Chain A
Amino acid sequence: MLAYIARRLALAVGTVLAAIVITFLLVHAGNTTPGAVRLGPGATADRIAAENEALGWNRPLFTQFTDYVGQLLQGNLGTSLIDGRDIAADLTDRLPVTASIALFATLLSGVVGILLGVAAAVRGGRTAQGITTGSGVALSLPSFWVGILLVYLLSLQLGWLPATGYTEFSTDPVGWATSLAIPVLTLAVGGAAIVTRTAAAGMREALAQEHVRTLRAMGTPQWRIRYVHALRYASVPVVSVLGIQFIVLFGGSVIIENLFALPGLGQASQVAAVSSDFPALIGVVVVATVVVVITNLLLDLLVAALDPKVRTA
């Protein structure tokens, strides 16, 4: 088990390094230079060259990389080429926004998805057909379109929730919650559909297992077979898919943050991409990768806790 954790940790560190290497190579492969970005259009080639020299752009790539990692270990992600703000500080402010949207959307998808999935597997027949078709449609809808529809419905027609904008938790907790409600709902539509499908398939598989017949042959009550034994069996794929959902929703927040004008990581990455703000781009990739890697680690531990075969291997 310890060896297992050590292996996963090594892979996690490797993944973060790989993300930095890939973005470094990407940035250097393009024909835009940071000097040109900082000085903007109209700058002469000489000034750009001087600026690049000053930024250390012409040093060997490996030196730049080790420097970057060294700074990263001290929590320094550099400054923006556009407005000179401190990237680490900026991303620290933005991370909670994105993380809370993704987390609440994952939790909501989990609750709704598990209920619907279990219902589909246990009830069968028409219920299952309806849930399967419904989840098939729900997971195909583009999130930005769903978001606009929800705004139209919940905000414009019913007036229950604000359409866009973000309120700080510290200033107004209720306003904070309502400002996140539509984004979370939007992300949860697709998320719940995927969890539903996984839960339904997992429960169906669990109920078809040979050991369920043993349980029935022992006169075990129906509810116990379903909600203790089968649900436990199905919990491994469901938990895995919830972890993946968190990662997907975390990444998918780019569009949602754009749509609802939320100051999160996704918005930062979009702005950085539009303006070719290289340090900001690398910074966002690093922070996002770290979040993904930590989620994966927690997920591995959770699956090991759930599945005795993994735990005792």
Chain B
Amino acid sequence: MSVLPLDAADEVATEPVPPARRRGLPAFLRRPGGIFGATWLTFVIVASLTAPLWRPYEPAEQDTANALALPSAEHWLGTDPLGRDLLSRIFTAGSLPLLSSALMLVVAFGIGLPLALIAAERGRRVEQVISRLTEVLIALPATILLLAVIGVIGNRLYPVMAILGVMISASVYRVLLGVAQSVRQRLYIDAARVNGLGSLRVNLVHVLPSMATVVAVQAAQLFGIGLLIVAGLAFLGFGPGEPEPSWGFMIQDASGYIYTAPWLMVPTGLVLALTVVAANELADAIAGKVAVAGRAGRRRRRGPLRRAVAAAAAGTAEAPDPAAVLQVRDLSVSVDDGPDLVTGVSFALQPGRVLGLVGESGCGKTMTARSLLGLLPDGVSVSGGSILWRGRELVGLSEREMSALRGREIAMISQEPMVALDPMFSISSQLTGPIRRFRGVGRSEARKIAAELLRNVGIVDAERVLKSHPHQLSGGMAQRVCIALALTGEPDLLVADEPTTALDVTVQAEILSLLRALVRDTGLSVVVVSHDLGVVADICDDVAVMYAGQVVESGTAEAVLDAPAHPYTMALLGANPHVPEGEPVPERLASIAGTVPPPGSWPTGCRFASRCRFAQERCTVPFPELPAHGAGSVLCIRVDELSRDHAVWEPEHAGDEIATPLAPPAPVAGVSR
């Protein structure tokens, strides 16, 4: 089993995690489309069903003197060619399409939903049989078949719509099957089954509620389609006969008077259109679509501001380290109009060395790494500090300037090799594209270089791999291809974001060896992000330990890992179950009470103080600058005392775990998984 993406919390959630049940209005009723849809549908349904009680005229009542009248005080919506009142006729006509569409819905879901639940539960063979049958049903021409039904059973709307419901149930099944299958894969279903919950109750208690949104969206959309079909049938003459009013026939009637009385088609058409629009808007609001559309895109341009911030930072900080190829000083990354994700991060990277950014989820290491390439997620940007790359300030560069740097000077490999490559293109085309762009060579030359690059990253059958598509590769192979891709522009800096987290341990060892060989052979500088101290010990020369958006300890890998000075580093090492060779396994592991505070709720003073075993009163007061410690830095005011006392982060005694206090509930918005 591959490990879950551990650093997912570094991503800024695109949508807040909804609490399971909120008091008050459901979410869809807070969107304009949802309010309109629900209000209009309620109005039409109530007005239509109660029409006999309030309508000003009988639907067949003729006022021949007033035929084809425009709206007036007597006839609010005007009259038809026989002088009948349109308002009365429209709402008298409403209940039939509304009720027969509802019947269609009941039939469609009554068949489709149980079938989907059964197919999702009973496994592949049952699912195949049901799915083939529904595929046949879907491929039948519904409208024409419906006319055939009318030709046989005659002009009876309710049975016709019920039969349409049977045909549509196939589409309902198809949509709901996918949802039901994905819900059934959730582990709480397995847990409930292990508890012995029966099949029916598993479906009722656990599966159905999770499908509610999709069912509601589908139902609203299908209701609109049903209305259109009923009206269409009536338009063709397959509705209630004259003098009974129907929406479709009233529009058909109006089409004959389009030369003389174009108004006639407005009221009926508008009511029908508005009702279908309302159903669709309601569906969209339930699905939450409009909100997403509104938020898409829109990158903030903060160029001038960034430049100013960078200049200020450069002015205050110490002189740049001339030997360093990359120097990050006082870097801050923030959510626009939101909390800081990273503050005051500084480190330097010498050419040909490997620097590790290490820490737990939500500590800002991925954000720090991504800011080196200017590849922060939408709505997140560098809010201060400086990134000096070979003497050039990267903070404040335009997207175009950054883009020219990416791949050529700074390249990146990411956590999930299986999704990092474009699934639609062959490996060959994904490699030769950048090779031709970076090196200005022709197609065949580029392919030769691509094969050579693949061999350089340890792929023996390069030709076969070039011809494959990403889904045909194993995780380890895909990561090798990603590394080859990153090397196409012969960069000087490689940013590797958890490059081995998704891989098996034996594959991880191979990839780490490969990276190490590349550094040795090409003089590449590397920034590695990892949560795994073992990986850091294997590949890094220098280490920066991050906690809650800050670097709490930095130095050479030996200094930091063999003689940790910051309590957080000590605790992380104590929590690692890989004991040194020949030593017995400890009875208990060191652990840190509580969890990493999320951005926006970092305490003042030392951010680790509330979880630190050595914290004192003064740790919670803001302290101005970090005391120097050896060759690196340690963000702890007690560092000298602690090292003098040979402080060790001991494991708690047995049973202490049980007394862990409950941390305050995580905030809903902001950064979360």
Q: Which residues of A contact B (CB under 8 A)?
A: 11-12, 14-15, 18-19, 22-23, 26-27, 29-30, 32, 120-125, 128-129, 131-133, 136-137, 139-145, 148-149, 151-152, 156, 200, 204, 209-211, 213-222, 229, 232-233, 247, 250-252, 254-255, 258-259, 265-266, 269-270, 272-278, 281-282, 284-285, 288-289, 291-293, 296, 306-309, 312
Partner of B147, one of A132, A140, A270: A270
Partner of A218, one of B251, B277, B419, B489: B489
Q: A145-B272, A255-B232, A270-B147 are in contact. Are A132 and B408 (CB under 8 A)?
A: no
Contacts of B259 in A (CB 8 A): 156
Bound-state CA distance A220–B435 (Å) is 11
Q: Once the chains bind, are B293 and A132 in contact (CB under 8 Å)?
A: yes
Residues from 274 to 325 in B contacting A, C-beta threshold 8 Å: 276-277, 279-281, 284, 289-290, 292-298
- Cβ of B192 within 8 Å of any chain A Cβ, yes or no, is no
Q: A124-B296, A219-B489, A285-B141 are in contact. Are A152 and B281 (CB under 8 A)?
A: no
Of B33, B228, B248, B373, which is in contact with the most chain A CB atoms at under 10 Å from its CB? Answer: B228
Q: How many A-B residue pairs have CB under 8 A?
A: 259
Nearest 9 CB-CB pairings of A with B = A124-B297, A219-B406, A273-B151, A30-B152, A288-B141, A251-B143, A140-B276, A219-B407, A124-B296
Q: Once the chains bind, are B297 and A123 in contact (CB under 8 Å)?
A: yes
Contacts of B406 in A (CB 8 A): 216-219
- Cβ of B115 within 8 Å of any chain A Cβ, yes or no, is no
Which candidate, B331-339, B421-429, B617-625, B633-641, is the interface stretch facing chain A? B421-429
Q: Once the chains bind, are A214 and B269 in contact (CB under 8 Å)?
A: no
Min CB distance B241 to A, Å, is 13
Min CB distance B473 to A, Å, is 12
Q: Once the chains bind, are A250 and B141 in contact (CB under 8 Å)?
A: yes
A-B contact pairs, 22 of them (CB 8 A): A14-B136, A15-B140, A22-B145, A125-B297, A136-B277, A142-B235, A143-B232, A145-B265, A148-B251, A204-B292, A214-B485, A217-B406, A219-B403, A254-B144, A258-B235, A269-B148, A273-B147, A273-B148, A273-B150, A282-B148, A291-B141, A308-B469
Contacts of A15 in B (CB 8 A): 135-136, 139-140
Bound-state CA distance A136–B278 (Å) is 10
Dominant SS among interface residues on chain A: helix
Q: Which residues of B contact A (CB under 8 A)?
A: 33, 132, 135-136, 139-145, 147-154, 224, 228, 231-232, 235-238, 248, 251-252, 254-255, 258-259, 262, 265, 269, 272-273, 276-277, 279-281, 284, 289-290, 292-298, 373, 375, 403-408, 411-412, 414, 416, 419-426, 433-434, 437, 469, 471-472, 482, 485-486, 488-489
Partner of B231, one of A142, A270, A276: A142
Beyond the given pairs A15-B136, A217-B375, 4 more chain A to chain B contacts, judged by CB atoms under 8 angstroms and listed by A's residue number, are A12-B139, A136-B277, A221-B403, A308-B426
Min CB distance A302 to B, Å, is 14
Q: Once the chains bind, are B284 and A136 in contact (CB under 8 Å)?
A: yes
Q: Once the chains bind, are B273 and A142 in contact (CB under 8 Å)?
A: yes
Bound-state CA distance A132–B251 (Å) is 27
Q: Once the chains bind, are B136 and A129 in contact (CB under 8 Å)?
A: no
Bound-state CA distance A87–B505 (Å) is 70
Contacts of B423 in A (CB 8 A): 211, 233, 308-309
Bound-state CA distance A134–B582 (Å) is 71
Contacts of B228 in A (CB 8 A): 140, 142-143
Q: Once the chains bind, are A309 and B258 in contact (CB under 8 Å)?
A: no
Contacts of B284 in A (CB 8 A): 132, 136
Contacts of A29 in B (CB 8 A): 152-153
Bound-state CA distance A175–B235 (Å) is 27
Q: A148-B254, A247-B141 are in contact. Are A132 and B375 (CB under 8 A)?
A: no
Chain A residue with the shortest CB-CB distance to B284: A136
Contacts of A276 in B (CB 8 A): 151-152
